[in-house]
Each structure stands twice: as structure tokens, then as C-alpha cells.
Amino acid sequence: MERILFYLLALNMISFAIAAVSTRKMLRSVIYLLFVLVGVAGIFFLIDYNFLAAIQLTVYAGGIIVLIIFSVLLVHHIELKLEMAKPKRQIATVIACLLGIGLFLTTIYSYHFNVVENNLTTTTSDIGSKLLSYGEGGFILPFEVISVLLLAAMIGAIIIAKGKKLNPKTHT
């Protein structure tokens, strides 16, 4: 059952990913990306990381995608067809990417992973106490750094997006 589910998810993700990078309509591209991200969340559910899946859904699907959609709506006409790269360039990129995939896969398959059979469930409280612990293996410091980073990003985003004082005539 889980196996079928995984293959469905994988197929779903790959096809939507390809669609996202090859469609010529901006908004659709974003929506396809949303499906890919939801697929990733599905994989997190499958391996029993519910908390992570929830984060994935809220932050990515709920936050980032909405942000991108807003920016698309701000700077694009919906009907606008995106410009595509030259065929020659596309082919070259495809070849490079296929070579890369081949390289990665051969490396992965030639390595023996020491898999540990398990069925452990990770609870949210485990993650929380790990994040906030300042004992050995605790992540309190990176956690604080990340929070400062987010604050800085927030301020930076506001400042950059605000830009210079606008000329009233070219107000958008």
C-alpha cells in the first residue's frame, strides 16, 4: 500500500516538476510547483515525520507559494506567455542535466548504505526539546541565529520592496 502510494507521489512530483519548468504561463508554473511541494509533504507523511510535513505545508504551500503568486500578479499580466530559451540551449542543458543525473545515480547506487530497519515515530515534543536544548547535541544557538536571520530578512524585504521614494507619476 505504502509502496504504491510512494510511486504515485513520485510520478506526480516528477511530472508536475517538469510541467513547472516548461510551461509558458507564469501562474500555472507556480501552481505546479505547489503540487510538487505538496508531494514532498506527502513523502514526509509516509516516513512518519508529521511535524515536518505540517511545516512543509504551512511554510511552503501556505507562505512561499502565496508570496510568489502575489509577486506574479504584481509584475505580470496573466495572459503573458513566457519567453523560452533557444532550442540549442535547451538541448545542451538537457544533456548536461542527464549527465548529471547519471553521475549522481551511479555514485548513489555504487555506495552501500547501512540502513537501519526501524519504525520509530518522532513526536513534535522530541523535535521541540531538541531545538531548544542547550545540552549536548542541542540546537538552541542555530535556532536563535535563524530567528535573527528571519527578522533581518523581514526588515530587509520591507526596505528593499519599499525602495526609494516614489515619483507620484510613475506610481504602480
Residues 48-107 that bind another protein (CB under 8 A): 48-49, 51-52, 55-56, 59-60, 63-64, 67-68, 70-72, 74-76, 82-85, 89-90, 92-94, 96-101, 103-107
Residue whose CB is less far from another protein, 1 or 134: 1
Q: How far is the CB of 31 from another protein (least distance, A)?
A: 10
Question: CA-CA distance, 83 to 45, in Å (whole number)?
Answer: 37
- Under rule CB under 8 A, which residues in 103-142 are in contact with another protein? 103-109, 113-120, 122, 126-127, 130-131, 137, 139, 142
With contact defined as beta carbons under 8 Å apart, do 133 and 139 qualify? Answer: yes
Residue whose CB is less far from another protein, 78 or 103: 103
Question: CA-CA distance, 82 to 26, in Å (whole number)?
Answer: 7
Please work out the total of residues on this chain that contact another protein, with binding judged by CB under 8 A. 93
Query: In 23-86, which residue ranges form alpha helices assigned H by DSSP?
Result: 26-46, 50-55, 65-75
| 50: exposed, middle or buried (Cβ count in 10 Å: 0-12, 13-18, 19+) | middle
**At 100, which amino acid appears?**
G
Residue whose CB is less far from another protein, 78 or 142: 142
